[in-house]
Amino acid sequence: MLIPLTSIMLVCFFALMIFVGFRCRKHANDVNGFVLGGRNVGPWLTAFAFGTSYFSAVIFVGYAGQFGWNFGLSSTWIGLGNAFIGSLLAWEILGRRTRVMTRHLDTKTMPDFFEKRYESKALKIVASVIVFVFLIPYTASLYNGLSSLFNIVFTIPYWVVILIMAVLTAIYVIFGGYMATAVNDFIQGIIMLVGIIAVVASVLISQGGFTEAIGKLSVQPEKMVGMSGETVLNGAYTSFFGPHPLALLFVVLLTSLGTWGLPQMVGKFYSIKNEDAIKKGTIISTFFAIVVAGGCYFLGGFGRLFANSQYIKTKPDGSILFDSIIPAMLRDLPDLVVAIVIVLVLAASMSTLSSLVLTSSSTLTLDVVAPAVKKGMDEKKKVLTMRVFIVFFVIVSAVIAVLKDRFNITFIAQMMGVSWGALAGSFLAPFLYGLYSKKVTRAAVWFSFFFATCMTVVQLLVSFKVVSFNGGVIGYIFKSSINSGVVSMVGGLILVPIISLFTKKLSEEKVNEIFACYEKTVTAQVKQKERLPEEK
C-alpha cells in the first residue's frame, strides 16, 4: 500500500509543479518579471517563498536529527530562534527599508545593491564571486538526506532521486521564473505545514503520547565532563537549555541571524508588492516558521528514544550518522504519514533549490556577464542567459552531490558546512548598515568581505587538519563551522561601524540622495466634519 500511495502523491505533486511553471510564463518575459515577479508579489506568496527557501530537507533530516540528538528538547529553541529572529525580526528590520531602497536604486541582486549603495563596481564583482563560490556547495547540500528518506519506500539509487529533483526544479524555474517559484513555494509550504503537524503527532502517539515521551526522554543519560571528572546526568535532554547551552546559543545565532545576510532570503523583500503586504507577510512568515522550524527541531528532540533502532546508522569511527535519525523515527508510522513526509521533504528541498539557482543565475548574468558585454544585452538576451545558467547551476549542484556521496569527498562536505557562515558573514553587516546608516564607508564593506572570507579559509584549514588550535578562545571559535560563522557575522556587525569612523566617507550629496527614498512626505486630505442640524 505504501509504494502505490507514495507514487500517486509524487506524480500529482510533480504534475502540479510543472503546470504552475508553464502557467507563469507570461510573468517571465523580461528581467524584472523573471527575477522579481515584477515587484508585485503579494504577502502570502512572499512569506511562503521566504519560509520555504529558509527550511529545506537539510533542516528536517540533518539539523533536526543532529541537534535534537545533541540538545534534546532544548533544540526547539533553534526553531523558535528561526521564527522570531530569522523571520519576525528580519521582516520588521529589513523588510520595508529593503523594498524601498532597492526600488529607489533599481537594484535586482545583492551585489548590485552594494555597487549602487557604496558607489563601487569592484564591490559588486567581489560580492558576485562570493555568491558564486559559496552558493554552489550550499545548493549541493540540499540533496542531503533525500536518499535515506526515499529508501523507506523505494529501493532506487541516490543519483536517480537527485536527477528527478534537479530536472523538475529546473523546468518550472526556467519557464516561470520568480513567479513560478513563488507560487510553487506556496503550494510546497502548505505541504510542509500539514506534513510537520502530522509527523510530530504520529511520533508522539507512537511513544504513548506527549507526557509518556517526555518521561522516557528524561531518563536518557548524558555524560558530562567537568572539573571533578565525568558524571552521568539524567534529565539533561528535557532541561530548559539542554546539556550544552553555549553550543545551543551558537546554533541559534547562526541559523537565525544568518538569514539577514543571505542573498536568496533578502531578495524576497525586493519583490514584495507594498508596505501593507510587508506587514501581513511578517505575521504569515513568523507563523510558518514557528510551525515548520519549531516542529522540526521539537521532533528531533525525541531522537534518542529511537537509539536502539536498527535503522540508525553509524560512521566508521563509531559516531552516529545524524541523517539516519529522522528516517529511523518514521519507519513504523502509518503509510499515509510516511507518504506525506516523502512529499514534504522533496517539496522543502525543491523550494530552496529553486530559490538558490535563481539567485545564482541572476547574480552571474546581471552583475558579471551583462556588464562585460561591450555591445550590451537586451532584455531577451539577459533572460535567456539566466535560463542557461539555471541549467548550469542545477547540473553542477547535482554532480557535486553525486560525487560527494559516491567518493565521500571531504572537501565538498566541508565547503557545504562553511557556506552559510561565509555568505552571511560577508554580507550581513554591509547590507544591514547600508539600509540604516549614512556613515558606512567603502573600506568597512571591504573589511567585512575580507574578514568573513579569511575566517572561512582558516575554518577549512582546521577542518582538514592543516592547522590546529589547542584550546582557548581561538580553539573554541574554530571548533566548528557554526562557531566561526557566528564570529564572522557578529564580528562584522561590531567592526564595520568602528572602521567607518576612521575611513573615508562617501559623497554626502550622493548618500543623501540615496536615503531620500525614506524621507518622502505623504499628505492626506482631511475632511471637515459636518455639523448635525440643530433641533428646533
Task: Work out the average pLDDT over 86-109.
Answer: 94
| All cell numbers assigned to 479 | 571548533
Q: What is the pLDDT of residue 426?
A: 96
CB 140 within 8 A of CB 409: no
Percentage with pLDDT > 90 across the chain:
55
298: enclosing H helix or E strand: helix 275-300
The more confident residue out of 112 and 273 is 112
Q: What is the pLDDT of residue 530?
A: 44
> What confidence tier does 532 reach under pLDDT thresholds 50, 70, 90?
very low
Q: Say whether pLDDT at 528 is over 70.
A: no
Each residue's pLDDT tens digit, 10-69: 999 999 999 999 988 888 888 999 998 888 889 999 999 999 999 887 788 888 888 999
CA angle 329, 331, 332 (to 5 degrees): 100
| All cell numbers assigned to 494 | 561590531
Q: Say whether pLDDT at 234 is over 70.
A: no
Q: What is the pLDDT of residue 157?
A: 84
Q: What is the pLDDT of residue 439?
A: 94
Rounded to 10 degrees, the C-alpha dihedral 85/83/77/330 comes to -150
Q: What is the pLDDT of residue 520?
A: 66
Rounded to 10 degrees, the C-alpha dihedral 348/21/6/204 comes to 30
| All cell numbers assigned to 458 | 582558516
**SS in 3 state form for 39-62?**
HCECHHHHHHHHHHHHCCHHHHHH
**Rounded CA gap, 86 and 253, in Å?**
9
> What confidence tier does 521 reach under pLDDT thresholds 50, 70, 90?
low
Each residue's pLDDT tens digit, 113-125: 999 999 999 999 9
Q: Say whether pLDDT at 274 is over 70.
A: yes
Q: Say whether pLDDT at 486 is over 70.
A: yes
CB 301 within 8 A of CB 75: yes
| Mean pLDDT score of the chain | 87
Task: Work out the average pLDDT over 321-328.
Answer: 86
Model-level pTM?
0.90
* CATH entry 3.30.1360.70 includes domain 2-368+383-409: no
Q: What is the pLDDT of residue 144?
A: 74
Each residue's pLDDT tens digit, 366-384: 998 988 887 778 888 999 9
Return the minimum-mean-pLDDT range out of 219-228, 461-470, 488-497.
219-228
Each residue's pLDDT tens digit, 135-194: 888 888 888 767 777 877 778 888 888 898 999 999 999 999 999 999 999 999 999 999
Q: What is the pLDDT of residue 231?
A: 45
Q: Say whether pLDDT at 338 is over 70.
A: yes
Residue ranges covered by each domain of the chain: 2-368+383-409
Q: What is the pLDDT of residue 442?
A: 96
Task: Work out the average pLDDT over 513-535.
Answer: 61
Return the minimum-mean-pLDDT range out of 287-301, 302-316, 416-430.
302-316
